[in-house]
Structure 1
Amino acid sequence: MLSGGSRAVTQPLADENWPEFDIAWSHRQREGVVTMDFKLELVAVPVSDVDKAKAFYVERAGFNADHDHVVSDEIRFVQLTPPGSACSIAIGTGISRMRPGSVEGLQVVVSDIEAAREELAGRGVEVSEVQDFPWGRFVYFSDPDGNSWAVQQIPPRP
């Protein structure tokens, strides 16, 4: 038993009865025990004007518009994904109690910070100059409500 009463799955990955990869139940092996992957794939970002925020993220930040559904008079769900990312953001109405503009520390990673900055600035995003740190090179921007983003280029590993 694992802490919290959970049980580890002990079926080996090589068993032909188990699929090699299943997106809903992907597993990894650690210390001879198969464990469940927990993938972060959606983060709610609170906004005051859904249409304005959607336009910013799609037209300026270059995100893909995956979904835009009006579920009811109280709920609208919009899912947006940065290019190449496995994690999306959700904006809308009735999906979060957070105050618009209150999210800080969202971060995406790119292979070329100069090109990323140029692309964002070219699309009309107010983006900072490149800042260099031992843990990477960064630029920063915010959406119209003030939710803040960092864009990082990870330094080469020794």
Structure 2
Amino acid sequence: MKAIEIISIPVTNQQEAKEFYLKFGFKLIVENPFQNGSNWIQMGLPDGGTSITLVNWFPQLKPGSIAGYVIKCDDLDTTIAELTAKGITVGNADQTPWGRFATVKDPDGNAWSLHGK
């Protein structure tokens, strides 16, 4: 094994979620018809690595149920300011023994932790 390639993010409305993630800083890798009226929407951060797919076809994955995924930032305060300027709500930056973190939630409530200095 080499790496985690794709993480499924459960969403209610794929297009609304796609627009949020584009504003959040992800880029669209591919969007194609998939099954039962859904699309395969795969997105990733500009520097590559693990990507996400916005899913609505796994009944066991409930929209808003994702938490604990961490996105590394060079400068947390700058990232918070940039996202806030785009209209994205970011939680307070909390200092922990293992670094500073702030939370961002997508339209369904899936929570991402931003981590940086």
Query: Does TM, normalized by the shorter one, top 0.5?
Result: yes
2:8 aligned residue:
44
TM-score normalised by L of structure 2: 0.90
What is the CA distance between 1:130 and its match in structure 2? 1.5
How far apart in 2 are the matches of 1:83 and 1:99?
27
- Write the deviation string for residues 43-72 of structure 1: whole angstroms up to 9, x where unpaired: 00000000000000002x011011111034
| Number of equivalenced pairs | 116
After the TM superposition, which residues 1-40 of structure 1 pair with which residues of structure 2 at under 5 Å, given as runs?
37-40=1-4
1:135 aligned residue:
98
How far apart in 1 are the matches of 2:99 and 2:46?
20
How far apart in 2 are the matches of 1:50 and 1:71?
12
Gap runs ≥5 in structure 1 = 1-36
2:83 corresponds, among 88, 113, 120, to 120
Gap runs ≥5 in structure 2 = none
Contact 1:74–1:93 (8 Å) recurs in 2: no
Larger strand share, 1 or 2? 2
- Write the deviation string for residues 79-119 of structure 1: whole angstroms up to 9, x where unpaired: 1112324011100343x331111111111111111111111
After the TM superposition, which residues 48-127 of structure 1 pair with which residues of structure 2 at under 5 Å, given as runs?
48-59=12-23, 61-94=24-57, 96-97=58-59, 98-127=61-90
Contact 1:43–1:88 (8 Å) recurs in 2: yes
How far apart in 2 are the matches of 1:93 and 1:114?
33
What SS class does the counterpart of residue 10 from structure 2 fall into?
coil
Q: Percent identity?
A: 28
Bigger Cα Rg: 1
How far apart in 1 are the matches of 2:98 and 2:33?
41
How far apart in 2 are the matches of 1:62 and 1:118?
13
What is the CA distance between 1:74 and its match in structure 2? 4.3
Select the structure with the greater relative contact order (CA < 8 A; seq sep ≥ 6): 2
